Structure 1
Amino acid sequence: MWCIKFGALYARRLKRNHRSYGDTFYIDEVFVKINGKQHYLWRAVDQDGAVVDVFLQVKRDGAAAKRFFKRLLRSHDEEPRKIVTDKLRSYGVAHRELIPDTIHSTEQYGNNRVEQSHEATRVRERGMRRFKSVRQAQRFATTHAAVSNLFNLGRHLVRAEHYRNLRISAFGEWSRAVA
């Protein structure tokens, strides 16, 4: 599978050339079974639908949330202006300790953007007949996020001519990343 052999390299190249993310992050976690054991795939998506970071962990407690927030802040140059989460109390712990100046919203249905972003991972997981190891799942999720960010162009937001130009530039960037 190309993802195992070249995925990390492609993801690094694509992330290096990625434009900046928005200032609002939607954060959520979803459980994933790996060899019969439950793990949690944490995901942060910006307001434009671009996946900022994904991280696979065994737990879903305050310490796990803080680990994910630290990783998210390390990979993103500046603190987000606002984070939107569900009502899991672990998010409140991480928010208060790491980014207390950031607005934290837990409105009902406010987190639907990131909930929808889990669907692509679920489809791939079913097609691959489950993940076999934590390392494989993390590698796949990271690579898939980088590639989907490249081709996630928001077709409904732009005119057809502009969309074609965006697609051409996305395929050009993909060609440079895999060269």
Structure 2
Amino acid sequence: MEIRGVKVDHATIQRWVFKFTPILDKEFRKRKKRVGMSWRMDETYIKVKGEWRYLYRAVDKQGNTVDFLLTKRRQRMSAQSFLIKAIEHNGKPRVINIDKSGSNSSAIRVYNKRALATKSRIRIRKCKYLNNIVEQDHRFIKWR
């Protein structure tokens, strides 16, 4: 904006970010491609501004990003909130492939217990080589 001759304080830009981020997020989600019914879920740790954080990610069978969540801790509640957020925005998958992560499997089990009334449970699959899609994608995220 300074190039155009407009002087804007950094606090004003921060207010704009807080104000317009939810609106932009909603619009971006409307235009997002639909994802498949088979997901691969994984978490990894990355350094953000000098602090280690856990990045929960889910991709579908074709490698399209379903959703992601960045948290301070790796625990069941983080995995559970990530799973609920992903399902709310993309619909419920038929099967989720995970590695041997205890937090992800317990989050899916808790979700299945709550969804007993609908009788459409999410199947958990722990096949290591099927998670290669999301693991390979982590390389590019960690490289930055």
Report the TM-score, using the length of structure 1 for normalisation.
0.59
User: Partner residue of 1:150?
Assistant: none
Structure 1: runs of 5 or more not aligned: 126-179
Identity, in percent, stands at 28
Q: Using a 3 Å threshold, how does the CA distance of structure 1 residues 35 and 19 change in structure 2: closer, same or farther?
A: closer
| Higher relative contact order structure (alpha carbons within 8 Å, sequence separation ≥ 6) | 1
Match of 1:147 in 2: none
CA shift, 1:107, in A, is: 1.5
Residue 131 of structure 2 corresponds to: 111
Partners in 1 of 2:87 and 2:97 — Cα distance? 15
Task: Give the structure with the larger helix fraction.
Answer: 1
Q: Are positions 1:102 and 2:116 aligned together? A: no
**Higher normalized strand content (fraction of residues):** 2
Alignment-derived partner of residue 170 in structure 1: none
Q: Based on CA coordinates, which of the two structures has the bigger radius of gyration? A: 2
Partner of 1:68: 82
Q: TM-score of the superposition, structure 2-length normalised?
A: 0.72
Separation in structure 2 between the aligned mates of residue 16 and residue 35 of structure 1, nearest angstrom: 30
Contact 2:98 2:105 (C-alpha < 8 Å) held by counterparts: no
Q: Which runs of 5+ in 2 are unaligned?
A: 1-13, 114-120
1:55 alignment partner in structure 2: 69
Number of residue equivalences:
120
C-alpha RMSD over aligned residues: 2.4
State the distance in 2 between where 1:12 and 1:120 align. Answer: 26
Task: Give the conservation status (yes or no) of the 8 Å contact 1:84–1:111.
Answer: yes
Selected match of 2:94 from 78, 81, 97: 81
**Partner-residue secondary structure (3-state), 2:59:** strand
Structure 1: distance between partners of 2:44 and 2:138: 7
Give per-residue Cα distances to partners, 1:16-59, cap 9 Å, x unaligned.
Answer: 12332100110111101123321101111011111011110011
Per-residue CA shift, 1:80-101, capped at 9, x if unaligned?
0000011011112101111351
Whole-angstrom CA distance in 1 between matches of 2:34 and 2:112: 20
Deviation at 1:12, TM superposition (A): 4.6
